[in-house]
Amino acid sequence: MKLPTDSAITIDVPLIREDPTLVNTQITRGLQGHPKTLPSKLFYDERGSTLFEQICELPEYYQTRTEHQLLTQWADEIVTMSGAEELVELGSGAATKTRVLLTAMANANQLRHYVPFDVDESIVRRVSEELVQEYPGLQVHGVVGDFLFHLEHIPEGGKRLVVILGGTIGNLLSHAAKDFLTAVNAEMSSGDYFLLGVQLITDRSRLEAAYNDRQGITAKFNKNIIRVLHNNFGADSHPDLFDHVARYNEDAHRIEMWLRSRQDQTLNIADLNFSVPLAHGEEIRTEISTKYDQPLAQELLASSGFEMVKWYTDPESLIGLALTQKP
């Protein structure tokens, strides 16, 4: 289904055609598991995307500004090496840092197409409209979908640079990250470039502070998943019945975000005809954010079919950008 909203913009919406049992099963299976989990894509309705943009501005959230600085430093080189005329971004969100790459492509007279791919329709539409204004002549083909299931909706393109930024890859368990990147690789042509941003292992205090900000924005973001369950699936619980918990799991080198029930309650999800009891203090895991080091990132990329071209990092080794190529 292609809904042209403007001559320069096409938005493809495979998510609207998504078999509803897919997300329903993800929710019910997750809540029956040990530990109980919810799929983190459910954070991202319009409110969740806005809260994530606010997180990116927080003093404690060093990740966004560090990745932004790295991109600013290396975008010209990345764009020149890739020779790409099309930028495909998976989990594109507000595409704030993406503008650094788009500007470098425009300066090199290489910018033709941008493909923002995200689960949140509101942000794909907003970003598409902003970018055709900011980059005259740019063609935007947005895809509203789940990148774990709808990659085949990435439109055919010319020479492409595919990017995943913002630590999004860290939200997947390691086997899922490998399967996902292997599927991304399969959608690319030989010679296309792939840029992966990873958040690097650093000290626990810095990591935990980034997910427990003083203003409580991350807590609101975490609890937004309960709001989405209420609005989209008829759940009867309320965000205030949960506490936000974020802690570093050293063995798995990942931050885990949990919602801890403030009382005994039963979470009834009417549209799914599903109920789950939650004891006072019981936790539901809503997100993981795995931290990598260079060897782990290289191993992941090599096992997914990518050849390392160049590794960029900042002086404190907080963020890594791996520029790779499909052989």
Which one of residues 41, 141, 160, 244 is an interface residue with ligand SAM (CB under 6 A)?
41
Residue 237 is a binding residue for ligand SAM (CB under 6 A): no
Bridge partners of residue 274, in order along the sequence: 269
Tell me if 256 contacts ligand SAM by CB under 6 A: no
Q: Does 225 bind ligand SAM (CB under 6 A)?
A: no
Work out which of 30, 38, 78, 91 binds ligand SAM, going by CB under 6 A. Answer: 91
Q: Which range of residues in 113-121, 183-191, 220-228, 245-253 is near ligand SAM by CB under 6 A?
A: 113-121
CB of 181 to ligand SAM, least distance (A): 14
Q: Does 120 bind ligand SAM (CB under 6 A)?
A: yes
Please tell me whether residue 63 binds ligand SAM under the rule CB under 6 A: no
CA 248 vs CA 51, 67, 112, 200, 296: distances in Å: 22, 21, 41, 13, 18
Q: Is 244 in the site for ligand SAM (CB under 6 A)?
A: no
Give the alpha-carbon dihedral of 135, 199, 26, 231, to 10 degrees: -60
142 near ligand SAM (CB under 6 A): no
Whichever of 194 and 261 has its CB closer to ligand SAM, that residue is 194
CB neighbours of 170 closer than 8 A, spacing ≥ 6? 177, 198, 199, 254, 288, 289, 290, 291, 292
Residues binding ligand SAM (CB under 6 A): 41, 44, 49, 52, 56, 91-93, 97, 118-120, 146-148, 165-168
